Protein backbone atom coordinates (compact mmCIF):
# COMPACT_ATOMS: atom_id res chain seq x y z
CA UNK A 1 0.00 0.00 0.00
CA UNK A 2 1.37 3.43 -0.96
CA UNK A 3 1.71 6.44 1.28
CA UNK A 4 -1.07 8.17 -0.62
CA UNK A 5 -3.49 5.36 0.05
CA UNK A 6 -2.64 5.46 3.72
CA UNK A 7 -3.11 9.20 3.87
CA UNK A 8 -6.46 8.85 2.16
CA UNK A 9 -7.63 6.58 4.91
CA UNK A 10 -6.57 9.17 7.43
CA UNK A 11 -3.64 7.29 8.91
CA UNK A 12 -0.53 8.74 10.27
CA UNK A 13 2.36 6.83 8.83
CA UNK A 14 4.25 4.55 11.18
CA UNK A 15 7.85 5.68 11.70
CA UNK A 16 9.11 2.99 9.40
CA UNK A 17 7.57 3.02 5.98
CA UNK A 18 5.15 0.22 5.33
CA UNK A 19 6.36 0.32 1.74
CA UNK A 20 9.43 -1.58 2.95
CA UNK A 21 7.23 -4.16 4.65
CA UNK A 22 5.34 -7.13 3.46
CA UNK A 23 1.60 -7.42 4.15
CA UNK A 24 0.96 -10.68 5.97
CA UNK A 25 -2.75 -10.54 6.61
CA UNK A 26 -5.72 -8.24 6.58
CA UNK A 27 -8.36 -8.94 9.17
CA UNK A 28 -11.57 -7.17 10.09
CA UNK A 29 -9.74 -4.94 12.58
CA UNK A 30 -6.10 -4.62 11.60
CA UNK A 31 -3.43 -5.19 8.99
CA UNK A 32 -0.35 -7.17 9.92
CA UNK A 33 2.96 -6.41 8.22
CA UNK A 34 6.34 -7.97 8.39
CA UNK A 35 9.37 -5.68 8.22
CA UNK A 36 12.56 -4.55 9.84
CA UNK A 37 12.99 -2.13 12.76
CA UNK A 38 16.45 -1.03 13.95
CA UNK A 39 17.94 -4.06 12.31
CA UNK A 40 15.55 -6.56 13.84
CA UNK A 41 12.80 -8.49 12.16
CA UNK A 42 9.46 -7.08 13.36
CA UNK A 43 5.74 -7.54 13.03
CA UNK A 44 3.69 -4.35 12.65
CA UNK A 45 0.07 -4.50 13.60
CA UNK A 46 -1.89 -1.49 12.48
CA UNK A 47 -5.52 -1.03 13.32
CA UNK A 48 -7.39 0.80 10.59
CA UNK A 49 -10.08 3.42 10.68
CA UNK A 50 -13.63 2.33 10.20
CA UNK A 51 -15.22 4.85 7.88
CA UNK A 52 -18.72 4.03 9.07
CA UNK A 53 -17.92 4.95 12.67
CA UNK A 54 -18.13 8.46 14.06
CA UNK A 55 -14.50 9.72 14.20
CA UNK A 56 -14.62 10.36 17.94
CA UNK A 57 -15.99 6.91 18.66
CA UNK A 58 -13.59 5.29 16.19
CA UNK A 59 -10.56 6.93 17.73
CA UNK A 60 -11.71 6.06 21.22
CA UNK A 61 -12.29 2.40 20.35
CA UNK A 62 -9.08 2.04 18.39
CA UNK A 63 -7.03 3.55 21.16
CA UNK A 64 -8.64 1.66 24.00
CA UNK A 65 -8.34 -1.66 22.17
CA UNK A 66 -4.74 -0.95 21.25
CA UNK A 67 -3.92 -0.08 24.84
CA UNK A 68 -5.69 -3.19 26.11
CA UNK A 69 -3.69 -5.33 23.71
CA UNK A 70 -0.40 -3.80 24.84
CA UNK A 71 -1.32 -4.11 28.52
CA UNK A 72 -2.23 -7.76 28.06
CA UNK A 73 0.99 -8.48 26.19
CA UNK A 74 2.97 -7.02 29.07
CA UNK A 75 0.85 -8.73 31.70
CA UNK A 76 1.32 -12.05 29.96
CA UNK A 77 5.09 -11.65 30.04
CA UNK A 78 4.95 -10.75 33.71
CA UNK A 79 3.07 -13.99 34.32
CA UNK A 80 5.76 -15.84 32.42
CA UNK A 81 3.69 -16.57 29.33
CA UNK A 82 5.92 -16.38 26.26
CA UNK A 83 4.61 -13.65 23.95
CA UNK A 84 6.33 -11.59 21.27
CA UNK A 85 8.60 -8.91 22.75
CA UNK A 86 7.03 -5.49 22.46
CA UNK A 87 9.37 -3.02 20.73
CA UNK A 88 7.32 0.11 20.30
CA UNK A 89 3.79 1.50 20.27
CA UNK A 90 2.68 4.40 18.11
CA UNK A 91 -0.69 5.51 19.36
CA UNK A 92 -1.24 8.12 16.65
CA UNK A 93 -0.57 5.58 13.90
CA UNK A 94 -2.45 2.87 15.82
CA UNK A 95 0.55 0.61 15.36
CA UNK A 96 2.25 -1.93 17.57
CA UNK A 97 5.78 -3.14 16.83
CA UNK A 98 6.58 -6.63 18.04
CA UNK A 99 9.23 -9.28 17.74
CA UNK A 100 8.80 -11.50 14.71
CA UNK A 101 8.71 -15.08 15.92
CA UNK A 102 10.48 -17.58 13.71
CA UNK A 103 8.18 -20.55 13.91
CA UNK A 104 4.99 -22.21 12.94
CA UNK A 105 1.42 -21.94 14.23
CA UNK A 106 -0.13 -24.93 15.96
CA UNK A 107 -2.71 -24.94 13.20
CA UNK A 108 -0.02 -25.38 10.55
CA UNK A 109 1.71 -28.06 12.60
CA UNK A 110 -1.53 -30.03 12.86
CA UNK A 111 -2.12 -29.59 9.16
CA UNK A 112 1.33 -30.98 8.39
CA UNK A 113 0.53 -33.95 10.59
CA UNK A 114 1.79 -34.82 14.07
CA UNK A 115 2.19 -38.09 15.86
CA UNK A 116 -0.29 -38.81 18.69
CA UNK A 117 2.56 -38.56 21.22
CA UNK A 118 3.62 -35.13 19.89
CA UNK A 119 0.01 -33.98 19.89
CA UNK A 120 -0.36 -35.07 23.48
CA UNK A 121 2.74 -33.28 24.71
CA UNK A 122 1.92 -30.07 22.80
CA UNK A 123 -1.66 -30.22 24.12
CA UNK A 124 -0.29 -30.49 27.67
CA UNK A 125 1.97 -27.49 27.05
CA UNK A 126 -1.01 -25.45 25.88
CA UNK A 127 -3.07 -26.49 28.91
CA UNK A 128 -0.32 -25.55 31.33
CA UNK A 129 0.15 -22.15 29.70
CA UNK A 130 -3.58 -21.41 29.77
CA UNK A 131 -3.73 -22.38 33.43
CA UNK A 132 -0.97 -19.90 34.28
CA UNK A 133 -2.62 -17.21 32.19
CA UNK A 134 -6.08 -17.69 33.71
CA UNK A 135 -4.72 -17.90 37.26
CA UNK A 136 -3.18 -14.49 36.57
CA UNK A 137 -6.67 -13.18 35.60
CA UNK A 138 -5.74 -12.77 31.94
CA UNK A 139 -8.37 -13.92 29.45
CA UNK A 140 -7.21 -14.17 25.84
CA UNK A 141 -10.60 -13.74 24.14
CA UNK A 142 -9.68 -15.37 20.85
CA UNK A 143 -8.03 -18.71 21.60
CA UNK A 144 -7.54 -20.54 18.34
CA UNK A 145 -4.77 -22.77 17.08
CA UNK A 146 -3.63 -20.02 14.71
CA UNK A 147 -2.96 -17.75 17.68
CA UNK A 148 -0.41 -20.15 19.19
CA UNK A 149 3.05 -20.41 17.69
CA UNK A 150 5.87 -22.87 18.28
CA UNK A 151 9.37 -21.40 17.97
CA UNK A 152 11.39 -23.29 15.44
CA UNK A 153 14.61 -23.14 17.52
CA UNK A 154 13.60 -23.72 21.16
CA UNK A 155 10.22 -25.35 20.48
CA UNK A 156 8.72 -22.90 23.00
CA UNK A 157 5.00 -22.21 22.79
CA UNK A 158 4.20 -18.51 22.19
CA UNK A 159 0.78 -16.88 22.52
CA UNK A 160 -0.05 -14.10 20.06
CA UNK A 161 -2.89 -11.70 19.20
CA UNK A 162 -4.24 -10.30 22.45
CA UNK A 163 -6.53 -7.94 20.52
CA UNK A 164 -9.69 -9.25 22.20
CA UNK A 165 -8.18 -9.95 25.60
CA UNK A 166 -9.41 -8.73 28.95
CA UNK A 167 -8.46 -8.85 32.58
CA UNK A 168 -10.96 -10.92 34.49
CA UNK A 169 -11.01 -13.24 37.46
CA UNK A 170 -14.48 -14.62 36.66
CA UNK A 171 -14.85 -18.35 36.06
CA UNK A 172 -17.41 -17.48 33.38
CA UNK A 173 -14.91 -15.54 31.24
CA UNK A 174 -12.24 -18.22 31.59
CA UNK A 175 -14.73 -20.95 30.71
CA UNK A 176 -15.83 -19.07 27.60
CA UNK A 177 -12.15 -18.72 26.68
CA UNK A 178 -11.73 -22.50 26.86
CA UNK A 179 -14.99 -23.06 25.02
CA UNK A 180 -13.81 -20.94 22.10
CA UNK A 181 -10.70 -23.16 21.85
CA UNK A 182 -12.84 -26.27 22.09
CA UNK A 183 -14.98 -25.13 19.17
CA UNK A 184 -11.85 -24.32 17.18
CA UNK A 185 -10.62 -27.87 17.72
CA UNK A 186 -13.97 -29.40 16.89
CA UNK A 187 -14.44 -27.46 13.68
CA UNK A 188 -10.94 -27.13 12.25
CA UNK A 189 -9.16 -30.20 13.62
CA UNK A 190 -11.82 -32.87 13.90
CA UNK A 191 -9.15 -35.58 13.86
CA UNK A 192 -7.10 -33.95 16.64
CA UNK A 193 -9.75 -33.71 19.34
CA UNK A 194 -7.55 -35.94 21.54
CA UNK A 195 -5.18 -32.96 21.75
CA UNK A 196 -7.88 -30.85 23.36
CA UNK A 197 -8.35 -33.57 25.98
CA UNK A 198 -4.65 -33.22 26.79
CA UNK A 199 -5.14 -29.44 27.06
CA UNK A 200 -7.91 -29.86 29.66
CA UNK A 201 -5.98 -32.55 31.52
CA UNK A 202 -2.95 -30.29 31.96
CA UNK A 203 -5.18 -27.29 32.72
CA UNK A 204 -6.78 -29.23 35.55
CA UNK A 205 -3.40 -30.15 37.00
CA UNK A 206 -1.89 -26.70 36.85
CA UNK A 207 -4.70 -24.24 37.49
CA UNK A 208 -5.47 -23.46 41.11
CA UNK A 209 -8.99 -22.48 40.11
CA UNK A 210 -9.65 -25.38 37.76
CA UNK A 211 -12.73 -26.51 39.66
CA UNK A 212 -15.02 -23.47 39.22
CA UNK A 213 -13.73 -22.89 35.69
CA UNK A 214 -14.32 -26.42 34.44
CA UNK A 215 -17.72 -26.56 36.15
CA UNK A 216 -18.63 -23.37 34.38
CA UNK A 217 -17.32 -24.83 31.13
CA UNK A 218 -19.87 -27.63 31.47
CA UNK A 219 -22.58 -24.97 31.86
CA UNK A 220 -21.34 -23.02 28.86
CA UNK A 221 -21.40 -26.19 26.73
CA UNK A 222 -24.95 -26.95 27.87
CA UNK A 223 -26.02 -23.49 26.86
CA UNK A 224 -25.03 -24.39 23.34
CA UNK A 225 -26.38 -21.27 21.82
CA UNK A 226 -27.09 -19.34 24.93
CA UNK A 227 -30.48 -18.37 26.23
CA UNK A 228 -33.87 -19.04 24.71
CA UNK A 229 -34.80 -16.04 22.64
CA UNK A 230 -37.53 -13.83 23.97
CA UNK A 231 -39.53 -12.24 21.20
CA UNK B 1 -52.22 -24.64 -14.16
CA UNK B 2 -53.14 -21.92 -11.74
CA UNK B 3 -50.52 -20.86 -9.25
CA UNK B 4 -50.89 -21.50 -5.54
CA UNK B 5 -51.87 -18.56 -3.33
CA UNK B 6 -51.10 -18.22 0.35
CA UNK B 7 -52.77 -15.85 2.80
CA UNK B 8 -50.54 -14.94 5.73
CA UNK B 9 -51.52 -13.36 9.04
CA UNK B 10 -48.92 -11.58 11.17
CA UNK B 11 -49.66 -10.22 14.62
CA UNK B 12 -46.68 -10.83 16.89
CA UNK B 13 -46.24 -7.24 18.06
CA UNK B 14 -48.18 -4.00 17.63
CA UNK B 15 -49.01 -4.51 13.96
CA UNK B 16 -51.64 -6.77 12.50
CA UNK B 17 -51.08 -7.54 8.81
CA UNK B 18 -52.65 -9.76 6.18
CA UNK B 19 -50.77 -10.58 2.99
CA UNK B 20 -51.58 -12.63 -0.09
CA UNK B 21 -48.62 -14.00 -2.06
CA UNK B 22 -48.51 -15.99 -5.30
CA UNK B 23 -46.24 -18.95 -5.99
CA UNK B 24 -43.91 -16.84 -8.19
CA UNK B 25 -43.27 -14.46 -5.28
CA UNK B 26 -45.68 -11.75 -6.47
CA UNK B 27 -47.33 -9.92 -3.56
CA UNK B 28 -50.99 -9.38 -4.48
CA UNK B 29 -52.05 -7.55 -1.34
CA UNK B 30 -50.40 -6.62 1.94
CA UNK B 31 -52.52 -4.32 4.13
CA UNK B 32 -51.68 -3.76 7.79
CA UNK B 33 -52.82 -1.75 10.78
CA UNK B 34 -50.62 -0.47 13.58
CA UNK B 35 -51.63 -0.02 17.20
CA UNK B 36 -50.23 3.38 18.14
CA UNK B 37 -49.99 4.43 21.78
CA UNK B 38 -49.70 7.99 23.14
CA UNK B 39 -46.18 9.51 23.50
CA UNK B 40 -44.30 8.26 26.54
CA UNK B 41 -46.09 4.90 26.53
CA UNK B 42 -45.39 1.49 25.06
CA UNK B 43 -47.91 -1.06 23.84
CA UNK B 44 -49.24 -3.60 26.34
CA UNK B 45 -50.10 -7.18 25.31
CA UNK B 46 -53.75 -7.03 26.36
CA UNK B 47 -54.70 -3.82 24.57
CA UNK B 48 -52.68 -4.85 21.54
CA UNK B 49 -54.51 -8.20 21.33
CA UNK B 50 -57.86 -6.39 21.43
CA UNK B 51 -56.66 -4.08 18.66
CA UNK B 52 -55.71 -7.10 16.52
CA UNK B 53 -59.05 -8.82 17.15
CA UNK B 54 -60.86 -5.69 16.05
CA UNK B 55 -58.95 -5.30 12.79
CA UNK B 56 -58.11 -8.78 11.55
CA UNK B 57 -61.41 -9.57 9.79
CA UNK B 58 -61.60 -6.28 7.93
CA UNK B 59 -57.94 -6.65 6.89
CA UNK B 60 -58.64 -10.14 5.46
CA UNK B 61 -61.56 -8.69 3.50
CA UNK B 62 -59.43 -5.78 2.32
CA UNK B 63 -56.62 -8.12 1.24
CA UNK B 64 -58.99 -10.36 -0.76
CA UNK B 65 -60.47 -7.30 -2.42
CA UNK B 66 -57.09 -5.75 -3.30
CA UNK B 67 -55.77 -9.05 -4.63
CA UNK B 68 -59.00 -9.59 -6.56
CA UNK B 69 -59.27 -13.20 -5.45
CA UNK B 70 -62.05 -15.24 -3.87
CA UNK B 71 -61.55 -17.41 -0.77
CA UNK B 72 -61.82 -20.54 -2.95
CA UNK B 73 -58.60 -19.50 -4.76
CA UNK B 74 -56.55 -19.53 -1.55
CA UNK B 75 -54.44 -22.72 -1.29
CA UNK B 76 -53.21 -22.36 2.30
CA UNK B 77 -53.18 -20.11 5.37
CA UNK B 78 -49.94 -19.15 7.13
CA UNK B 79 -49.71 -17.48 10.53
CA UNK B 80 -47.03 -16.39 12.99
CA UNK B 81 -46.37 -19.07 15.57
CA UNK B 82 -43.76 -16.95 17.39
CA UNK B 83 -41.65 -15.36 18.71
CA UNK B 84 -43.68 -12.41 19.95
CA UNK B 85 -46.12 -11.29 22.61
CA UNK B 86 -48.55 -13.99 23.72
CA UNK B 87 -51.84 -12.12 23.50
CA UNK B 88 -51.30 -10.59 20.07
CA UNK B 89 -49.96 -13.90 18.72
CA UNK B 90 -53.07 -15.74 19.88
CA UNK B 91 -55.29 -13.20 18.14
CA UNK B 92 -53.57 -13.93 14.81
CA UNK B 93 -53.50 -17.70 15.35
CA UNK B 94 -57.24 -17.86 16.11
CA UNK B 95 -58.06 -15.92 12.96
CA UNK B 96 -55.84 -18.27 10.94
CA UNK B 97 -57.39 -21.43 12.39
CA UNK B 98 -60.88 -20.10 11.79
CA UNK B 99 -60.16 -19.27 8.14
CA UNK B 100 -58.45 -22.62 7.54
CA UNK B 101 -61.53 -24.50 8.78
CA UNK B 102 -63.96 -22.19 7.03
CA UNK B 103 -62.20 -22.46 3.68
CA UNK B 104 -61.03 -26.08 4.23
CA UNK B 105 -57.37 -25.41 3.42
CA UNK B 106 -54.18 -26.49 5.23
CA UNK B 107 -52.61 -24.23 7.85
CA UNK B 108 -48.87 -23.56 8.19
CA UNK B 109 -47.11 -22.20 11.28
CA UNK B 110 -44.29 -19.76 10.46
CA UNK B 111 -41.39 -18.45 12.53
CA UNK B 112 -41.49 -14.67 12.53
CA UNK B 113 -37.71 -14.26 12.10
CA UNK B 114 -37.58 -16.70 9.20
CA UNK B 115 -40.44 -14.67 7.69
CA UNK B 116 -38.30 -11.53 7.75
CA UNK B 117 -35.32 -13.32 6.20
CA UNK B 118 -37.28 -14.97 3.38
CA UNK B 119 -39.14 -11.74 2.63
CA UNK B 120 -35.84 -9.88 2.40
CA UNK B 121 -34.40 -12.52 0.08
CA UNK B 122 -37.33 -12.56 -2.34
CA UNK B 123 -37.67 -8.77 -2.48
CA UNK B 124 -33.95 -8.04 -2.97
CA UNK B 125 -32.86 -11.18 -4.79
CA UNK B 126 -29.96 -11.65 -2.34
CA UNK B 127 -28.65 -15.20 -2.65
CA UNK B 128 -26.70 -16.12 0.45
CA UNK B 129 -26.07 -13.01 2.54
CA UNK B 130 -25.21 -12.52 6.19
CA UNK B 131 -28.50 -11.30 7.65
CA UNK B 132 -28.75 -8.55 10.25
CA UNK B 133 -32.21 -8.83 11.78
CA UNK B 134 -32.99 -5.77 13.87
CA UNK B 135 -36.40 -4.93 15.27
CA UNK B 136 -38.25 -4.03 18.44
CA UNK B 137 -38.06 -7.58 19.73
CA UNK B 138 -35.02 -9.09 18.04
CA UNK B 139 -31.39 -8.35 17.29
CA UNK B 140 -29.52 -11.16 15.56
CA UNK B 141 -26.74 -11.72 13.07
CA UNK B 142 -27.69 -14.77 11.03
CA UNK B 143 -26.10 -16.90 8.32
CA UNK B 144 -27.54 -19.89 6.54
CA UNK B 145 -25.82 -23.24 6.79
CA UNK B 146 -27.09 -26.78 6.36
CA UNK B 147 -30.88 -26.27 6.42
CA UNK B 148 -30.88 -23.82 9.29
CA UNK B 149 -30.60 -20.08 9.76
CA UNK B 150 -27.84 -20.05 12.36
CA UNK B 151 -27.43 -17.25 14.87
CA UNK B 152 -23.83 -16.02 14.94
CA UNK B 153 -24.35 -13.14 17.28
CA UNK B 154 -27.26 -11.64 19.12
CA UNK B 155 -28.18 -9.24 21.87
CA UNK B 156 -27.73 -10.60 25.36
CA UNK B 157 -30.39 -8.30 26.82
CA UNK B 158 -32.52 -5.65 25.07
CA UNK B 159 -33.34 -5.67 21.38
CA UNK B 160 -32.03 -2.62 19.55
CA UNK B 161 -35.53 -1.40 18.60
CA UNK B 162 -36.63 -1.78 22.19
CA UNK B 163 -33.70 0.38 23.26
CA UNK B 164 -34.72 3.08 20.74
CA UNK B 165 -38.39 2.88 21.78
CA UNK B 166 -37.54 3.29 25.44
CA UNK B 167 -35.25 6.21 24.72
CA UNK B 168 -38.04 7.87 22.70
CA UNK B 169 -40.16 7.73 25.86
CA UNK B 170 -37.47 9.62 27.77
CA UNK B 171 -37.71 12.44 25.20
CA UNK B 172 -41.49 12.05 24.97
CA UNK B 173 -41.33 11.58 21.20
CA UNK B 174 -44.42 10.53 19.26
CA UNK B 175 -45.06 6.84 18.55
CA UNK B 176 -46.53 7.78 15.16
CA UNK B 177 -45.50 6.28 12.75
CA UNK B 178 -42.88 4.75 15.07
CA UNK B 179 -40.56 5.98 17.83
CA UNK B 180 -37.49 4.88 15.86
CA UNK B 181 -38.52 6.94 12.83
CA UNK B 182 -38.88 10.04 14.97
CA UNK B 183 -35.48 9.48 16.58
CA UNK B 184 -33.97 9.14 13.10
CA UNK B 185 -35.49 12.44 11.95
CA UNK B 186 -34.41 14.29 15.09
CA UNK B 187 -30.88 12.81 14.89
CA UNK B 188 -30.35 14.57 11.55
CA UNK B 189 -30.27 17.89 13.44
CA UNK B 190 -27.77 16.63 16.01
CA UNK B 191 -24.10 17.54 15.74
CA UNK B 192 -22.48 17.03 19.11
CA UNK B 193 -21.26 13.51 19.80
CA UNK B 194 -21.68 12.39 23.40
CA UNK B 195 -19.66 9.29 24.25
CA UNK B 196 -21.82 6.39 25.38
CA UNK B 197 -20.94 2.88 26.58
CA UNK B 198 -20.04 0.67 23.63
CA UNK B 199 -20.60 -2.98 24.48
CA UNK B 200 -19.54 -5.65 22.00
CA UNK B 201 -18.61 -9.02 23.50
CA UNK B 202 -17.23 -11.29 20.84
CA UNK B 203 -20.12 -11.64 18.42
CA UNK B 204 -22.75 -10.43 20.87
CA UNK B 205 -24.01 -6.97 21.74
CA UNK B 206 -25.64 -5.52 24.85
CA UNK B 207 -27.82 -2.41 25.13
CA UNK B 208 -29.25 -2.36 28.63
CA UNK B 209 -26.30 -0.64 30.31
CA UNK B 210 -26.15 1.89 27.51
CA UNK B 211 -29.85 2.65 27.93
CA UNK B 212 -29.57 3.22 31.69
CA UNK B 213 -26.56 5.47 31.08
CA UNK B 214 -28.21 7.60 28.39
CA UNK B 215 -31.45 7.92 30.38
CA UNK B 216 -29.55 9.50 33.27
CA UNK B 217 -27.16 11.48 31.10
CA UNK B 218 -29.97 12.95 29.00
CA UNK B 219 -31.76 14.41 32.04
CA UNK B 220 -28.51 15.91 33.24
CA UNK B 221 -27.37 17.35 29.90
CA UNK B 222 -30.77 18.71 28.95
CA UNK B 223 -31.19 20.38 32.33
CA UNK B 224 -27.79 22.07 32.05
CA UNK B 225 -28.47 22.87 28.36
CA UNK B 226 -25.11 21.39 27.30
CA UNK B 227 -26.78 19.12 24.75
CA UNK B 228 -30.02 19.08 22.79
CA UNK B 229 -32.43 16.15 22.36
CA UNK B 230 -31.19 16.01 18.75
CA UNK B 231 -27.59 15.53 19.95
CA UNK B 232 -28.69 12.66 22.17
CA UNK B 233 -30.56 10.94 19.33
CA UNK B 234 -27.55 11.42 17.05
CA UNK B 235 -25.11 9.99 19.60
CA UNK B 236 -27.37 7.05 20.41
CA UNK B 237 -27.76 6.12 16.75
CA UNK B 238 -24.05 6.47 15.98
CA UNK B 239 -23.11 4.24 18.90
CA UNK B 240 -25.62 1.41 18.62
CA UNK B 241 -25.42 1.18 14.85
CA UNK B 242 -21.61 1.04 15.00
CA UNK B 243 -21.97 -1.95 17.35
CA UNK B 244 -24.33 -3.68 14.92
CA UNK B 245 -22.10 -3.04 11.91
CA UNK B 246 -19.07 -4.34 13.81
CA UNK B 247 -20.65 -7.69 14.73
CA UNK B 248 -22.00 -8.04 11.20
CA UNK B 249 -18.48 -7.54 9.86
CA UNK B 250 -17.14 -10.20 12.24
CA UNK B 251 -19.76 -12.66 11.01
CA UNK B 252 -18.84 -11.85 7.40
CA UNK B 253 -15.16 -12.50 8.09
CA UNK B 254 -16.08 -15.75 9.83
CA UNK B 255 -18.37 -17.06 7.07
CA UNK B 256 -16.35 -15.61 4.20
CA UNK B 257 -19.43 -13.86 2.82
CA UNK B 258 -19.43 -10.50 1.06
CA UNK B 259 -23.09 -9.54 1.04
CA UNK B 260 -25.36 -8.29 3.80
CA UNK B 261 -29.14 -8.20 4.03
CA UNK B 262 -30.79 -6.00 6.64
CA UNK B 263 -34.31 -6.93 7.74
CA UNK B 264 -36.66 -5.97 10.57
CA UNK B 265 -38.24 -2.67 11.55
CA UNK B 266 -34.98 -0.93 12.52
CA UNK B 267 -33.67 -1.96 9.09
CA UNK B 268 -35.48 0.93 7.42
CA UNK B 269 -33.32 3.40 9.31
CA UNK B 270 -31.33 5.19 6.60
CA UNK B 271 -28.38 5.95 8.85
CA UNK B 272 -27.95 2.25 9.66
CA UNK B 273 -28.16 1.43 5.96
CA UNK B 274 -25.60 4.12 5.14
CA UNK B 275 -23.10 2.84 7.74
CA UNK B 276 -23.57 -0.74 6.63
CA UNK B 277 -23.12 0.35 3.00
CA UNK B 278 -19.73 1.88 3.84
CA UNK B 279 -18.56 -1.27 5.59
CA UNK B 280 -19.80 -3.59 2.84
CA UNK B 281 -18.22 -1.43 0.12
CA UNK B 282 -14.85 -1.67 1.84
CA UNK B 283 -15.17 -5.44 1.73
CA UNK B 284 -16.19 -5.42 -1.94
CA UNK B 285 -19.65 -6.79 -1.34
CA UNK B 286 -23.20 -5.62 -1.75
CA UNK B 287 -25.79 -4.37 0.71
CA UNK B 288 -29.36 -5.50 0.30
CA UNK B 289 -31.82 -3.35 2.18
CA UNK B 290 -35.55 -2.99 1.90
CA UNK B 291 -37.96 -0.15 2.63
CA UNK B 292 -40.67 0.19 5.26
CA UNK B 293 -43.26 -1.78 3.23
CA UNK B 294 -41.35 -5.02 3.81
CA UNK B 295 -38.94 -4.21 6.65
CA UNK B 296 -41.74 -3.59 9.11
CA UNK B 297 -43.87 -6.57 10.13
CA UNK B 298 -46.43 -7.44 7.46
CA UNK B 299 -48.63 -10.32 6.34
CA UNK B 300 -46.75 -11.14 3.12
CA UNK B 301 -43.56 -11.99 5.04
CA UNK B 302 -45.52 -14.77 6.77
CA UNK B 303 -47.42 -15.86 3.64
CA UNK B 304 -44.23 -16.31 1.58
CA UNK B 305 -42.31 -18.80 3.82
CA UNK B 306 -45.69 -20.48 4.43
CA UNK B 307 -46.01 -20.99 0.70
CA UNK B 308 -42.40 -22.25 0.45
CA UNK B 309 -43.11 -24.86 3.13
CA UNK B 310 -46.47 -25.72 1.54
CA UNK B 311 -44.74 -26.48 -1.78
CA UNK B 312 -42.46 -28.90 0.12
CA UNK B 313 -45.58 -30.66 1.36
CA UNK B 314 -45.16 -29.31 4.89
CA UNK B 315 -48.15 -28.13 6.89
CA UNK B 316 -49.22 -27.97 10.52
CA UNK B 317 -51.99 -30.26 11.86
CA UNK B 318 -54.80 -28.10 13.21
CA UNK B 319 -54.37 -29.32 16.80
CA UNK B 320 -50.69 -28.26 16.66
CA UNK B 321 -51.42 -24.83 15.19
CA UNK B 322 -50.60 -23.04 18.44
CA UNK B 323 -48.27 -20.19 19.24
CA UNK B 324 -45.28 -19.68 21.49
CA UNK B 325 -43.53 -16.57 22.76
CA UNK B 326 -40.13 -18.26 22.53
CA UNK B 327 -39.23 -19.68 19.17
CA UNK B 328 -35.61 -19.49 18.02
CA UNK B 329 -34.65 -18.77 14.45
CA UNK B 330 -32.39 -21.86 14.39
CA UNK B 331 -35.22 -24.15 15.55
CA UNK B 332 -36.72 -24.10 12.07
CA UNK B 333 -35.69 -26.78 9.60
CA UNK B 334 -35.40 -24.94 6.29
CA UNK B 335 -36.52 -27.53 3.76
CA UNK B 336 -36.78 -25.19 0.79
CA UNK B 337 -33.08 -24.28 0.46
CA UNK B 338 -30.08 -26.39 -0.54
Q: How far is CA A17 from the centre of its chain?
A: 25
A224 lies within 8 A of chain B by CB: no
Is residue B229 within 8 A of residue B189, CB to CB? The reply is: no
Cβ(B19)–Cβ(B298) below 8 Å: yes
Residue B142 and residue B279 in one domain? yes
Least confident interval from A219-223, B261-265, B322-326: A219-223
In-domain check, residue B109: yes
- More confident position, A195 or B145: A195
* CATH for B268: 3.30.420.40
What pLDDT, in 10s, does the model give residues A119-157? 999 999 999 999 999 999 999 988 888 899 999 999 999
Which residue from B minimizes the CA distance to A56? B193
Domain assignment of residue B166, yes or no = yes
**Same-domain pairing of B132 and B272:** yes
CB contact under 8 A, B137 and A141: no
Band (B96; pLDDT cuts 50, 70, 90): very high
Of residues B140, B326, B330, nearest to A230 (C-beta): B326
Chain B: residue whose CA lies nearest to A164 = B202
Q: What digits encode the pLDDT tens for the residues B17-72?
A: 999 999 999 999 999 999 999 998 899 999 999 999 999 999 999 999 999 999 99
- CATH superfamily, with its number, for domain A3-99: Phosphorylase Kinase; domain 1 (3.30.200.20)
- Cα separations in angstroms, B41 against B168, B171, B173, B178, B222: 9, 11, 10, 12, 21
Using one digit for the tens of pLDDT, what is the confidence trace for B145-188?
Answer: 888 898 888 888 899 999 999 999 999 999 999 999 999 999 99
Q: Residue B290 falls within a domain, yes or no?
A: no
A2 pLDDT band, cuts 50/70/90, is: very low
CB contact under 8 Å between A225 and B330, yes or no, is yes
Domain residues for the domain of B202 are: 128-285
Classify residue B58: in a domain, yes or no. Answer: yes
Same domain? For B310 and B222 the reply is: no
Q: Do B33 and B157 belong to one domain?
A: no
Mean pLDDT calculated for residue range B231-240: 97
Size of interface A-B (CB pairs under 8 A): 73
**Domain contains B338:** no
Interface of A with B in 69-108 (CB under 8 A): none
Per the annotation, the verdict on A194 as an active-site residue is no
| Strand B76-82 with B107-111, pairing | parallel
Question: ipTM above 0.90?
Answer: no
| Residues 145-184 (A) with a CB less than 8 A from some CB of B | 164, 176, 180
Contact B242 A51 (CB under 8 A): no
Average pLDDT over residues A17-38: 82
State the smallest CA–CA distance between residue A160 and chain B in angstroms.
17
Superfamily of domain A103-223: Transferase(Phosphotransferase) domain 1 (1.10.510.10)
> What is the rounded average pLDDT for all residues in chain B?
94
pLDDT at A24: 84
**In sequence order, which residues have a C-beta less than 8 Å from that of residue A120 and are 6 or more positions away?**
A194, A195, A198
- The pLDDT of residue B256 is 80
Same domain for B99 and B187? no
- B123 inside domain: no
- B83 to chain A: closest CA residue: A231
- pLDDT at residue A4 greater than cutoff 80: no
Domain count, chain B: 2
- Answer for the pair B117, B131: CB distance below 8 angstroms, yes or no: yes
Amino acid sequence: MSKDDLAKEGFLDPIISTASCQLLSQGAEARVWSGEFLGRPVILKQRFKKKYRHPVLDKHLNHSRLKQEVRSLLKARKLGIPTPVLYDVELEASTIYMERIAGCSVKELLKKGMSPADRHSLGRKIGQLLATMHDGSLVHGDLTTSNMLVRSDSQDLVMIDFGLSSISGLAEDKAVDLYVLERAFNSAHATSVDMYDAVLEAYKQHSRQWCPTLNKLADVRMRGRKRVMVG
Amino acid sequence: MTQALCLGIEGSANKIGVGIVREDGEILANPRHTYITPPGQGFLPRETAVHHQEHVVSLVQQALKEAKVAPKNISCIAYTKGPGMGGPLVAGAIAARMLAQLWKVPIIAVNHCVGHIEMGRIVTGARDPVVLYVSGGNTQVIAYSEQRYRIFGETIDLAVGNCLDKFARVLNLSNDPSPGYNIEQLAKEGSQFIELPYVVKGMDVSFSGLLSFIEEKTKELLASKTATPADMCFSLQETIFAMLVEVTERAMAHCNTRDVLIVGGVGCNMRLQEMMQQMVEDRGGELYAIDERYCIDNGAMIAWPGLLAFKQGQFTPLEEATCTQRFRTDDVLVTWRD
